Amino acid sequence: MPKPVRVRDYMATQLVTLRPDMEILRAVNTLLKHDIAAAPVVDEVGNLVGILTERDCIKVVLSAGYHSEYGGQVSEYMSTDVQTIDADNSIVDAARLFFGHQFHRYPVMENGRLVGQLSRRDVLRALEKLR
C-alpha cells in the first residue's frame, strides 16, 4: 500500500514572516517585494499570533495614499483568528478544508510551532500527482 501523502510533503517551508510590532507600511512593502498575498505574523519566540493579508492592507494603503494617514503596527491590522492545519494531516483532508472556506492558504503547525504554509496551489500540485 502506498504511503499516504501528507501536508508536510507539499507545504512551503521557506516562509516570509512578519512581527506584530512591525510598522504596517513596511509590512505591506514586504508582501509586495516577495510577491505574496499574505504572511504569518510571529512573536519574538516564533509563536504564530496572526496573519496579515492583502485584504488587511488595502485600507492601510488607501488611507496612506489618499488621506496622508500613515502608520500603525501590524498587530493593529492582522487577523488573529487564524485557522491552521497540522503537518501530518493528509493532503486530501487539506483539500477538503479549502472547499468550505475562502482561505487561500493555511499556516502549517507541528507540535504547536509554525513549520510551513499550505496553499491551494500546493494542494492542486499534490492531487495532480495522485491521479
Q: Structural domain boundaries of the chain?
A: 7-130
Q: Looking at residue 106, what is its pLDDT?
A: 95
Which residue blocks in the chain are alpha helix, DSSP H?
24-33, 54-67, 91-100, 120-130
13: Cα separation from own chain's centroid: 11
Q: Mean pLDDT for the chain?
A: 90
Q: Looking at residue 128, what is its pLDDT?
A: 87
100-119: average pLDDT: 92
* Span 73-92, pLDDT tens digits: 999 999 999 999 999 999 99
What is the total residue count of the chain? 131
103, 83 in Cβ contact below 8 A? yes
Question: 7-130 sits in which CATH class?
Answer: alpha beta
pTM, full prediction:
0.87
- Residue 105 confidence (pLDDT) above 70: yes
- Measuring CA to CA, which residue among 7, 11, 12 is closest to residue 93? 7
